Amino acid sequence: MSKNKPIFVTSPLLPPLEEFQTYLKEIWESKWLTNNGQFHQQLEKELCDYLGVKHVCLFSNGTLALITALQALGITGEVITTPFSFVATTHSLWWNNIKPVFVDIDPYTFNLDPTKVEAAITPKTTAIMPVHVYGTPCNLKAFEQIAETYNLKLIYDAAHAFGVEINGNSILNFGDLSILSFHATKVFNTFEGGAIICQDEKMKRHIDDLKNFGFRGETTVVAAGINAKMNEMQAAFGILQLKYIEEAREKRKKIAKTYRQTLKSTEGITCLNDFPDIKHAYSYFPVLIEQEKYGMSRDQLYEKLKENNIYSRRYFYPLISNFPTYKGLSSAKKDNLPNANNIAKHVLCLPIYPSLEIEDVYRISDIILESKFK
Ligand code: T4K
């Protein structure tokens, strides 16, 4: 451990380079670089097994997966969503000419609050797009009931929820479609990458058409598709990474446990609830900072950590609803989103990644403890 070595909020899981070279050699020999190659097919199969889902459609990134998911379901009009997420969630609606309707979040999970969704439904509403923020599952039952009652599609942005299960069942098995991101900063990465999880063969076929220009065969174009395919190098990296994913999850778990232990008695610092019965991804470690009790604001602590070469992040500040593209929408008004505005002002994501040393976790915690009322 060196105090001069910068510690970022995350660092990618990188298996041994020599092992990746073996895959590269195979790609060189086959000269098959993309378009549903052998590694692409293998990764889809292995992910179905690992995640416990029926169908995986791989994508070049999570944003294109979101955009294509909306296309696949023919979503139009208005979609109810959360302002407390990464901008890509809402951008995917905007790119499909869909009006986002923001609804407030639940202060305990930071996820879209289902009890507030019904009031936002209009005759133009066609879908709900909640996000499992930081990998914490949304209230799946409640959303299912609302979607059924109002005949709405349900699309989960599950970018943070790789491998998350409730009572042994993947949360990706809920809703019409779920979207994963395999970006470098994610628990499971393929440099860039993503996936749509769907529940039946027909939908998989449709999504596979859409991500490949709409081509079915050499001369038939069945839909106005896009190019959003994952290439063989990304897929091979994914296959290799899957071998290390459980070990990496255990390391993340240990880090999360250490933060909880070291920070538990610090007044003004609250860790996100540790929900039981859930197999967590430990993708982020968010804490809330209350200045009145702790002595420093969230932004002051963020700067203090930075002075010590520790680069925490204020995910998700600013709220999506406060960005110029969206802030004119009536649902973006602050009084419509009190919890989201409050959490965005107080949240700080601490570094968590498999290669983060436990002694560094203690050092980060010590800085937080020592900064109290300074
Ligand atoms: N939906 C949700 C809920 C999402 O969170 C995201 C993406 C998406 C959809 C869209 O999925 P993708 O289209 O991205 O697949 C990052 C990521 O770029 C983004 O993927 C992620 N969410 C978001 C939460 O975080 P930035 O702008 O904060 O990343 P950046 O470049 O500042 O990286 C953060 C830290 O990670 C760096 O300080 C150091 C470390 N890092 C980063 C990269 C790129 C590395 O160590 N190596 C790397 O290669 O957005």
Question: For residues 197 and 175, what is the distance between their CA atoms, to the nearest angstrom?
Answer: 10
What phi, psi does 366 have (nearest 5°)? -60, -45
For residue 10 and ligand 1, the question of a CB distance below 6 A is answered with yes
Both tokens of 33, joined, read 């670089």
Question: For residues 85 and 82, what is the distance between their CA atoms, to the nearest angstrom?
Answer: 7
For residue 354 and ligand 1, the question of a CB distance below 6 A is answered with no
Q: 231 and 60 in contact (C-beta within 8 Å)?
A: yes
Tell me: the pLDDT tens digits for 284-295?
999 999 999 999
Beta strands in 78-118 (DSSP E): 78-81, 99-102
Partner residues linked to 177 by β-bridges: 155, 198
Tell me: the pLDDT tens digits for 305-362?
999 999 999 999 999 999 999 999 999 999 999 999 999 999 999 999 999 999 999 9
Question: For residues 67 and 371, what is the distance between their CA atoms, to the nearest angstrom?
Answer: 43
Residue range(s) in the chain whose domain bears CATH number 3.90.1150.10: 245-370
Tell me: the pLDDT tens digits for 220-236?
999 999 999 999 999 99
Question: Hey, whose CA ends up nearest to atom 4 of ligand 1?
Answer: 86
For residue 86 and ligand 1, the question of a CB distance below 6 A is answered with yes
* Ligand 1 atom at minimal distance to the Cα of residue 182: 15
316 upstream amide cis, omega within 30 of 0: yes
- 192 Cα–ligand 1 center, Å: 10
Tell me: the pLDDT tens digits for 115-141?
999 999 999 999 999 999 999 999 999
What end-to-end distance do the CA atoms of the chain give, in Å? 26
Q: Class assignment of domain 17-242?
A: alpha beta
Dihedral of alpha carbons 40, 43, 47, 49, sign = positive
pLDDT attached to residue 276: 83
pLDDT attached to residue 3: 64
What phi, psi does 53 have (nearest 5°)? -125, 165
For 305, the 3-state DSSP assignment is helix
Is residue 1 pLDDT above 60, yes or no?
no
- Pocket probe mutation, ligand 1, options 181, 185, 352, max atoms within 8 Å of Cβ: 185
For residue 271 and ligand 1, the question of a CB distance below 6 A is answered with no
pLDDT-based confidence at 2, cuts 50/70/90? low
Residue range(s) in the chain whose domain bears CATH number 3.40.640.10: 17-242
Determine which helix (DSSP H) or strand (DSSP E) holds 245, and give its type and residue range: helix 245-263
Q: Class assignment of domain 245-370?
A: alpha beta
